[in-house]
Structure 1
Amino acid sequence: MKTFENVTSIEQMEAETAKLKEMAVKLGTETWEDRNKNQTPHCKFGEDGVCCKNCSMGPCRITAKASRGICGADAHAIAGRNYLRMIAAGTSAHSDHARELLHVLHGASPNGSYRVRDEQKLLRLANEWGVATENRDIYDVAHEVAEVGLMEFGKPFGTQLFIKRAIPQRQKVWKEQNIEPRAIDREIATAMHMTHMGNTADAEVLVRQGLRASLSNGWGGSMLGTEVTDILFGIPTVRNTEGNLGVLEKDMVNIVVHGHDPAFSEMVVTAAELKELSDYAKTKGAKGINIVGLCCTANEVAMRHGVRMAGNFLQQENAILTGAIEMMCVDIQCIFPALASLSECFHTKFVTSSSIARIPGAIHVEFKPETAFEQAKELIKMAVDNFSKRDNSKVYIPPTKQAATVGYPCEQIIKQLDGITNSHVDELGSYRPAIDAIKAGVLRGAVAIVGCNNPRVRPDYSHFEIMKELLKNDVLIVATGCSAQLATKAGFLNKEAKYICGAGLRRVCDLVDIPPILHMGACVDISRMMLLASGIARDWGVDTTQIPVIGCAPEWMSEKAVSIANYVVSTGIDVYLGIEPQVKGSAQMMELITQGTRKITGAGYIINKDPHELVKAMLDGIEAKRAALGI
């Protein structure tokens, strides 16, 4: 039988990182590995979530001799408050991202930097929200849709509009459990108020507000961000691209876009496609302009332009250490402040673009929607002018790169399924062919793998091992964010990777013409996964908590990830974690997030730091759901 021999191993990735690290040592500079070592051992009180500094009477910490803080808050209250504050911060990050995009949509115009690229998606959303469309200019519709979306953040009454997209069984759970998300800003403010000194000390109440606040993200802010991005820049479609640091070019002007906000990166990518700028680069001795992406920005531009992906979160310093980067442009979230000083060791220009993410030592060019395209052109010229300053004695571009097929939002998945056999197509499309494959046992189920990579464990290793094992066991994977980047680097997004899969999944890949892991986008696009799971449950005729679909974040690290994990659990989907949440100092909190939420939403966390044990638990969880459905 044919096999796929082109998988890039973790050991190969680590060897290339080690070679880049040699340059850092030679230059006398540091990287995250050094800073991680200097932070070891980590603060035990912080790890366990039992340090409170929410007022100036402390900080207080829970010990064997001091079981309560000065105010009397115990470990359960302190851990619960800290946990809820993480959810609030993560919710604010994704939701503020969406708010900025809605403002961009509100200012969109036919002759401006930002235009409506997908009119049909805009019209569908307008109809969903009751915005009049007949005989109206498309930009008048867009501006009113933006206004309705902006009201989701601060409206005084009602709940999030998008929760009506959930299946009726799930909406009933949210209503009965009193966790329906209201205005996004209200849920964040309520969470912060509840955790202020002198307020809620009941861990279960804090966890419930965490579920509610996170729902205002997954079925509010994140979903808004994804919808508006699709309207402004187009629904992603299948594209072939490449990934890993080998996508850098020694004879081209290399520009990295890094972060999460596609409003910025879209302008840079579009400007770089101009012939006048390509010709300008040639006058400076370069063969052209090579735009590559890092982190979630990479996922965004890969799905819409085929831009190649240089890597994920912990590779951001590695990109600069190649010595081949003329400019790194960043927007928001997951950006190391260390990039500014590291860039000074090379010719690299480090540019920030958002008032949300100002970094000392960076060149700050705040993007304005009305001048964004012209600003992008100026940045490209700045990078081109910097090409001649590259010191070739400092250049090492790792050779490894992998082919990848990306761009599978829900619309594309349904389109692929319809292209094979779908006798029940309705206006929304249908997931019945996938359901039939699961019922027949051709597929055992599906796993959404999301999240970052984390220095607390061997970076990317858990993602790699879990993905490899799931594929062998006929489990289809959908991936976003940094986990999708690992899948790219390993070669799992290559359609030929079907030959490392079990016979059932390999057959599905052949029939539907897909890679075994479907790239769904950035971390904000995990909202797409909620719609996918809800669509499967709808077409199956059951609740989301019953279908053999689970979530996994093997190496999560950010507050956004805590918010995401909670809205996935709230949607009725179990989440398997490879990093323990920082609540271990409270047995009550550990019980609440692993078992207590099951009484509220029907789902919870399963935690194991060993990826091989975690994947066994995942497979057992899928089989238990199959058995409960009688398949």
Structure 2
Amino acid sequence: MFDPKAEISVTQDGNRLFEKAVKDNIETVWHRHEAQQPQCGFCDMGLSCRICIMGPCRVDPFGEGPQTGVCGADADIIVARNLCRMIAAGAASHSDHGRDLVEVLESVSKGTAPGYKIRDEDKLRQLAGEYGVDMEGKDVLAIAGDLARAMMEDYGMRQKAVTLVSRAPEKRRELWDKVGITPRGIDRETSEMMHRTHMGVDNDWQSLLVQGLRNALSDGWGGSMIATEVSDILFGVPAPKPTMVNAGVLKKDQVNIVVHGHNPVVSEMVSKACMSEEMLDLAKAKGAFGINLAGVCCTGNELLMRRGIAMAGNHLMTELILTTGAVDMMIVDYQCIMPSIGKVASCYHTRMVSTSDKAKFPGMEHHEFHPENAEKKAMALVKTAVENFTNRKEVMIPVEPQEAVGGFSVETIIQALGGTAEPLIDAIKAGKIRGAVGIVGCNNPKIKHDHGHVTLTRKLIEKDILVVDTGCVSVANAKAGFKLASAADMAGPGLKEICKALGIPPVLHLGSCVDNVRILVLVSALANALGVDISDLPVAGSAPEWYSEKAVTIGVYCVASGITTHLGPMPPITGSLNVVNLLTRGLTDVVGAGFAVEPDPEKAALFLINHIEEKRKGLGLDSRTL
């Protein structure tokens, strides 16, 4: 049994709410993680196989038991198949999210999505141009419809490549063609990956992993990139906005509605309903001073980026937010939603609502959102949440909110630099900014909540390395105070000078986890400006607390794009030294980047700093020795 005073987080709200959860006899993710100990060693090493019904099988890593499964698959094959299926699942999740948005875009073009509209015509026309859409004499809605249908083609079978790989530097595209990993179609690569990993198909661990690279690229330069771009078209290109973070954003005297998941199609309509005069008048009639909308996970990030909506927490805070007793309704869509939260909410007055036709959860009411009904559904749910305000009992909001600034898109970063990437390049050449690291990913109960994120970020900015972040790490860094212009004082002298001159924080919030593709676009722009490949740049990626299949796919498409990537937790691959050596060493010879695993964020910082200095040296820039 956990000590009620146990510190499971580096955050004050996390620890105080965990203490309350224990007091209230609420089972949390940390309790369930402890109950699973010891976890299966075969699974942890990737040596268990459940692909066919001749199994389940396992391979003994010590050589004393079976060395193959029933079908004859050895450790290399089993580990590679398992990893590739993780890549396929991660690619499917983010790419399917992109498909949802494309379908909304098409519905808007037909006038069958009341409440939605084209918010950024310039972005629409830019994308239409990239897709070769004929815009001559067409109105905005007609262009939107043609673009949506052109994007849908990327999901099917294309003969050469998905459209947006054209954004990658020419040297990178030539490398992909040479290696044979240019993604041909979004769904095609995922389908082929699942086919290859079926029993009796591809039993060469190397060719499996090559297809894994192509499958991941189909998401990074396909489905996820489409998701981000269409979100910008429908909801607006993000721009920096002041906001607040942590559990303190919940209000004792207001109706609190929390949105959770990843799909802005739902949260945008909920946001609109919360601001309606009808709902605000109803809230006052029920004794509330207003309606307070807050976010958790990436749905919250989408709203923060575009509306400045406050963030109550990240992945591992979801259950704890409910224990405040202040949440009148939590509305979820899909991804990173623990099936436990319906049970937790039942211990309080919170109404739980699921909204996606592909994601239902125990203990939740289900109200499906579709483009044609989303506006009405949102109004009905907000009304129910307001009426639930009078059912509140004890409320505990443990902290005051932390101020932050979020919402940096590639466009606003370039705009802040005066419309060109040259000032950033000049700062890198001068050594004032040594390089940049994208820190991404969620939380994992195997790691003290937010410790990896915050520690690594602090160490990097102290060494004049600019940090950009997405997803759950962005909430951790905002709580730590890194997302204010005044945080420049925490940075090294060079980064501090640049941040103060531009009035920006040393850590830039780039959005939700699909928005990792903004990092791809930004590094491509830098590579093109310098006339080099992405792998030549003093940049890196990191996922200090990752847990999901999506994170595997993100890491693989970053590495395949030329960005060396650090992972905190070890992937389930240690059962095959061949696979480990390929991912950590061999890939560098193939795509110019690889993986590094280091659970200790301070040691990880040293690795990333040294990597950046080596890349500076390779470009003929000054390099420091640690």
Q: Give the TM-score band, short-chain normalised.
A: over 0.9
Q: Given that residues 311 and 489 in structure 1 are in contact (C-alpha distance below 8 angstroms), is that contact kept between their aligned partners in structure 2?
A: no
1:599 Cα deviation after fit: 2.0
- Aligned partner of 1:319 in structure 2 is 321
Amino acid at match of 1:506: K
Q: Distance in 1 between matches of 2:128 and 2:543?
A: 34
Larger CA deviation: 18-27 vs 361-370: 18-27
Structure 2, unaligned runs of 5 or more: 1-6, 622-626
- Aligned partner of 2:296 in structure 1 is 294
Cα distance change of structure 1 residues 593 and 504 upon mapping to structure 2, 3 Å threshold = same
Q: Which of 466, 469, 473 pairs up with 1:479?
A: 469
1:192 Cα deviation after fit: 0.5
Q: Which of 35, 40, 48 pairs up with 2:37?
A: 40
Q: Which residues of 2 match residues 172-571 of structure 1 at below 5 A?
A: 172-392=174-394, 395-418=395-418, 430-571=420-561
Is 2:97 aligned against 1:97?
yes
Q: Given that residues 326 and 387 in structure 1 are in contact (C-alpha distance below 8 angstroms), is that contact kept between their aligned partners in structure 2?
A: yes
Q: Distance in 1 between matches of 2:328 and 2:318?
A: 14
Q: Which of 135, 152, 159 pairs up with 1:157?
A: 159
The secondary structure found in structure 2 opposite 1:369 is coil
Q: Distance in 2 between matches of 1:488 and 1:540?
A: 32
- Aligned partner of 2:128 in structure 1 is 126
Q: Which of 39, 50, 53 pairs up with 1:53?
A: 50
Residues 488-536 of structure 1 show CA distances to partners (whole Å, capped at 9, x for unaligned) of 1111101111111111011110111111101000000001100001101
1:134 Cα deviation after fit: 2.3
Is 2:107 aligned against 1:107?
yes
- Aligned partner of 1:594 in structure 2 is 584
Q: Given that residues 57 and 70 in structure 2 are in contact (C-alpha distance below 8 angstroms), is that contact kept between their aligned partners in structure 1?
A: yes
Q: Given that residues 246 and 398 in structure 1 are in contact (C-alpha distance below 8 angstroms), is that contact kept between their aligned partners in structure 2?
A: yes
- Aligned partner of 1:582 in structure 2 is 572
1:201 Cα deviation after fit: 1.9
Q: Given that residues 9 and 450 in structure 2 are in contact (C-alpha distance below 8 angstroms), is that contact kept between their aligned partners in structure 1?
A: no
Q: Given that residues 260 and 330 in structure 2 are in contact (C-alpha distance below 8 angstroms), is that contact kept between their aligned partners in structure 1?
A: yes
Amino acid at match of 1:79: V
Q: Given that residues 49 and 82 in structure 1 are in contact (C-alpha distance below 8 angstroms), is that contact kept between their aligned partners in structure 2?
A: yes
Which stretches of structure 1, 4 residues or longer, exceed 6 Å deviation after superposition? none
Is 2:66 aligned against 1:69?
no
Is 2:617 aligned against 1:627?
yes
Q: Distance in 2 between matches of 1:590 and 1:275?
A: 58
Larger CA deviation: 563-572 vs 126-135: 126-135
Q: Distance in 1 between matches of 2:424 and 2:239?
A: 19
The secondary structure found in structure 2 opposite 1:303 is helix
The secondary structure found in structure 2 opposite 1:478 is strand
The secondary structure found in structure 1 opposite 2:373 is helix
The secondary structure found in structure 2 opposite 1:408 is coil
Residues 170-214 of structure 1 show CA distances to partners (whole Å, capped at 9, x for unaligned) of 000000100000111110011001111112222211111110000
Q: Distance in 1 between matches of 2:424 and 2:219?
A: 28
1:18 Cα deviation after fit: 3.4
1:27 Cα deviation after fit: 3.3
Residues 219-262 of structure 1 show CA distances to partners (whole Å, capped at 9, x for unaligned) of 00000000100000010011000101110000000000011000
Q: Distance in 2 between matches of 1:509 and 1:15?
A: 28
Larger CA deviation: 110-119 vs 531-540: 110-119
Q: Distance in 2 between matches of 1:356 and 1:484?
A: 27
- Aligned partner of 1:4 in structure 2 is none
Q: Distance in 2 between matches of 1:44 and 1:11?
A: 24
- Aligned partner of 2:3 in structure 1 is none
1:26 Cα deviation after fit: 3.6
Q: Given that residues 240 and 306 in structure 1 are in contact (C-alpha distance below 8 angstroms), is that contact kept between their aligned partners in structure 2?
A: yes
1:541 Cα deviation after fit: 1.2
1:624 Cα deviation after fit: 0.5
CA RMSD of aligned residues (A): 1.2
Amino acid at match of 1:369: P
Q: Given that residues 430 and 539 in structure 1 are in contact (C-alpha distance below 8 angstroms), is that contact kept between their aligned partners in structure 2?
A: no
Q: Given that residues 10 and 450 in structure 2 are in contact (C-alpha distance below 8 angstroms), is that contact kept between their aligned partners in structure 1?
A: no
1:383 Cα deviation after fit: 0.2
The secondary structure found in structure 2 opposite 1:595 is helix
Is 2:26 aligned against 1:24?
no
Q: Given that residues 113 and 371 in structure 1 are in contact (C-alpha distance below 8 angstroms), is that contact kept between their aligned partners in structure 2?
A: no
Q: Aligned pair count?
A: 610
Q: Distance in 1 between matches of 2:224 and 2:449?
A: 26
Q: Distance in 1 between matches of 2:552 and 2:510?
A: 20
1:114 Cα deviation after fit: 1.3
1:597 Cα deviation after fit: 1.3
Q: Given that residues 430 and 535 in structure 1 are in contact (C-alpha distance below 8 angstroms), is that contact kept between their aligned partners in structure 2?
A: no
Q: Given that residues 247 and 321 in structure 2 are in contact (C-alpha distance below 8 angstroms), is that contact kept between their aligned partners in structure 1?
A: yes
Q: Distance in 2 between matches of 1:577 and 1:231?
A: 33
Q: Distance in 2 between matches of 1:15 and 1:267?
A: 32
1:158 Cα deviation after fit: 2.6
Q: Distance in 2 between matches of 1:414 and 1:447?
A: 17
1:293 Cα deviation after fit: 0.2
Structure 1, unaligned runs of 5 or more: 1-9, 419-428
Cα distance change of structure 1 residues 15 and 476 upon mapping to structure 2, 3 Å threshold = closer
Q: Distance in 2 between matches of 1:14 and 1:241?
A: 18
1:143 Cα deviation after fit: 0.8
Amino acid at match of 2:502: V
Q: Distance in 2 between matches of 1:589 and 1:12?
A: 33
Amino acid at match of 1:39: Q
TM-score using structure 2 length: 0.96
Q: Distance in 1 between matches of 2:604 and 2:376?
A: 49
Residues 152-183 of structure 1 show CA distances to partners (whole Å, capped at 9, x for unaligned) of 11134231000011110000000010000011
**Identity across matched positions, percent:** 46
- Aligned partner of 2:4 in structure 1 is none
Q: Distance in 2 between matches of 1:16 and 1:411?
A: 34
Q: Given that residues 252 and 286 in structure 1 are in contact (C-alpha distance below 8 angstroms), is that contact kept between their aligned partners in structure 2?
A: yes
- Aligned partner of 1:425 in structure 2 is none
The secondary structure found in structure 1 opposite 2:142 is helix
Q: Distance in 1 between matches of 2:9 and 2:511?
A: 25
Q: Distance in 1 between matches of 2:25 and 2:469?
A: 37
Q: Distance in 2 between matches of 1:83 and 1:499?
A: 42
Q: Given that residues 8 and 449 in structure 2 are in contact (C-alpha distance below 8 angstroms), is that contact kept between their aligned partners in structure 1?
A: no
- Aligned partner of 1:617 in structure 2 is 607
Q: Given that residues 432 and 540 in structure 1 are in contact (C-alpha distance below 8 angstroms), is that contact kept between their aligned partners in structure 2?
A: no
Q: Which of 144, 166, 169 pairs up with 1:167?
A: 169
- Aligned partner of 1:421 in structure 2 is none
Residues 262-299 of structure 1 show CA distances to partners (whole Å, capped at 9, x for unaligned) of 00101001111112211110000000000000001111
- Aligned partner of 1:140 in structure 2 is 142
Amino acid at match of 2:144: A
